[in-house]
Amino acid sequence: MKLPFFFLADTWWFGATSRMPFSVFKLLVKKRVKQGFSAVQIVIGIPPETEVRGFAFRKDWSLDKKYFEEADKKIKYLVDNGLAPVIYGGWGHHIDVLGVEKIKSLWREIVARYSSYPVIWCLAGEIDMPNSHPVILSTFGKLSTGAVKDLMRFFSFGRAQDQNDNLRSRIKKWKEVGDYIHKIDPYKRQITAHVHRRTTALDLLGGRKWLSINSIQSGHSKDSVAFMVNSIINNDNSKMPIINMEPWYEGILGNFGEYEQRYAFWVCLLSGAKGHSYGAHGIWQMSKKGENFMGHWGDSYWKKSLKFRGAEQLGQSKKFLEKYEWRKLTACFENINPHWTEGNFYYPFAAKIEDKHIFIYVPKVGGIGEIGVKDLKNTTYNVSLISPESLKTIKSFKIKGKNCIIPLAKTRNLDLLLLVSKQ
């Protein structure tokens, strides 16, 4: 099943809570729409890592209708402004505490309220996060006491086999929830899941007829590039699209600025992803100035994060690709030399649209003076050297022949985008 639009989602895990007042919510929507985003990832339920006011549940774990009344306004506002809500039903480990039936009751409410909108369902965030993970231990300590803490002590110190058995049990529970969502949703909206470890949603949930979007999380480490590329390039897009649901957040741990945002976008799209996600540290968790909320991920302030340059550049990149038949992009690394391999992090990536266009992303211009392109048609091609930062053409010229050498222009740009188009 294809996505009906170019998926470019911002990440607002706490967007449905009181941490993001409706006035701020509207401001962020206006900003992202102008920049070219098409979706927003948002949790209806309990966001990751912590407990805050604004949960979908009361203290006795019954559903809080007042929470939903506020969430209703926000979901409607997203749709009214052309942003598709990607609705998460909490975080993966919550099912270990609440149980399947309470999670089903939450999803029953979500589906009843929002299924008539053009939404995408996401079962939960990080459905496979190990129960011994510090985030889970910390979260459960805030969610409840007594029996739950006893349960977490078992999770934390149990044998590796116990850990694996617990994870298998949890995935089985989420499969049951996915079956339930698909059954009760009259509109049969697309469903995916957000994963934690170096795996894919398809690997964890394969065989479920309702799974329509495969996903990965590259996370917040540069050593994830090989996993990111290989997972995407090996996905069978004829069966379902794949999207990196959590790439490097801009500014997280004081790292991953606008250049890394461009790198992740072009690497994923040219490897075969049919969309991309973005996150700005400070906005995903709605951190206030001097508050140090989620401070273990680095200092942040949402107003400062709103000025990050990466979001604007990704929006422009999306608009640029939408001028072409971007759905037909197919990775063709082997058609260029040099090209990316696991041992050459900064070598170029390439994808083609049939025999009409080849898009080449060069992560580091300084180390490469030229790029060889082979297996062209014996005809004339227009070559444009483009700044990935501004999407403006730096230089253009023509080449002809089956195998050609493209000299790279001297530029101050750290990275470069090449478009080779058959005349």
What's the rounded Cα separation, in Å, for the pair 423 and 420? Answer: 9
Least confident of 10-24, 262-276, 284-298: 284-298
Which tokens go with 62?
């019954």
Quick one: pLDDT at residue 142? 53
User: Quick one: pLDDT band at residue 355, thresholds 50, 70, 90?
Assistant: very high
Residue 173 has pLDDT above 70, yes or no: yes
Higher pLDDT pick, 197 / 187: 187
Give the pLDDT score at 160. Answer: 57
For residues 351 and 357, give the distance between their C-alpha atoms in angstroms, rounded to a whole number. Answer: 8
Long-range contacts of 373-376 (CB under 8 A, 24+ apart): 373/335, 373/336, 373/399, 373/403, 373/404, 373/405, 373/406, 373/420, 374/335, 374/336, 374/337, 374/402, 374/403, 375/335, 375/402, 375/403, 376/401, 376/402, 376/403, 376/404, 376/420
Average pLDDT value for residue range 160-175: 85
The fold of 7-133+146-325 is TIM Barrel (3.20.20)
Picking from 65, 69, 75, the residue whose alpha carbon sits closest to that of residue 105 is 65
How does residue 61 score in pLDDT terms, banded at 50, 70 and 90? confident
Q: Which pair of tokens denotes residue 342?
A: 């696991």
149 within 8 A of 158, measured Cβ to Cβ? no
In the chain, residues under CATH classification 3.20.20.80 are 7-133+146-325
Q: In the chain, what percentage of residues exceed pLDDT 90?
A: 76
Average pLDDT over residues 200-218: 95
Contact predicate 39/76, CB 8 Å = no
In this prediction, residue 52 has a pLDDT band, given cuts at 50, 70 and 90, of very low
Site of tokens 């999207």: 243
SS3 at position 290: coil
For the chain, the average pLDDT equals 91
Report d(CA 417, CA 394) in Å as an integer.
Answer: 10
Hey, is 230 helix, strand or coil? helix
Rounded alpha-carbon distances, angstroms, from residue 193 to 85, 121, 196, 268: 14, 8, 10, 18
Helices marked H in 54-144: 65-80, 94-98, 100-114, 134-143
- Phi and psi at 263, nearest 5°, equal -55, -50
What is the rounded average pLDDT of the residues 396-402?
96
What is the pLDDT confidence band of residue 212, given thresholds at 50, 70 and 90?
very high
Express each pLDDT in 70-97 by its tens digit.
999 999 999 999 999 999 999 999 999 8
Q: What is the pLDDT of residue 334?
A: 97
SS3 state of residue 311: helix
The ranges of the chain annotated as CATH 2.60.40 are 332-422
Q: What is the DSSP letter of 125?
A: B
Helix, coil or strand: residue 57: strand
Roughly how many angstroms between the first and final C-alpha of the chain, as a whole number?
33
Amino acid at 128: D
pLDDT of residue 161: 60
Q: Decide: residue 32, CB within 10 A, 0-12 exposed, 13-18 middle, 19+ buried.
A: buried
DSSP letters, 319-385, are HHHTTS-GGGEEE-GGGEES--BTTBTTS-EEEEETTTEEEEEES-STT-SEEEE-S--SSEEEEEE
Q: What is the pLDDT of residue 274?
A: 97
DSSP state of 238: T
How high is the pLDDT of residue 296? 73
How far apart, in whole angstroms, are the C-alpha atoms of residue 4 and residue 271? 20
State in words which class domain 332-422 has: mainly beta
- Under the banding of pLDDT at 50, 70 and 90, the label for residue 51 is low
pLDDT at 150 over 70: no
Can you tell me the distance from the alpha carbon of 83 to that of 118, in angstroms, rounded to the nearest whole number? 9
Task: Choose from 46-55, 123-132, 154-163, 380-389 the range with maximum mean pLDDT.
Answer: 380-389
DSSP three-state, residue 173 = helix
Taking the model in full, what pTM does it have? 0.92
Question: In the structure, what pLDDT confidence band is assigned to residue 244 with cuts at 50, 70 and 90?
Answer: very high
Rounded to 5°, the CA angle 87-90-94 comes to: 160
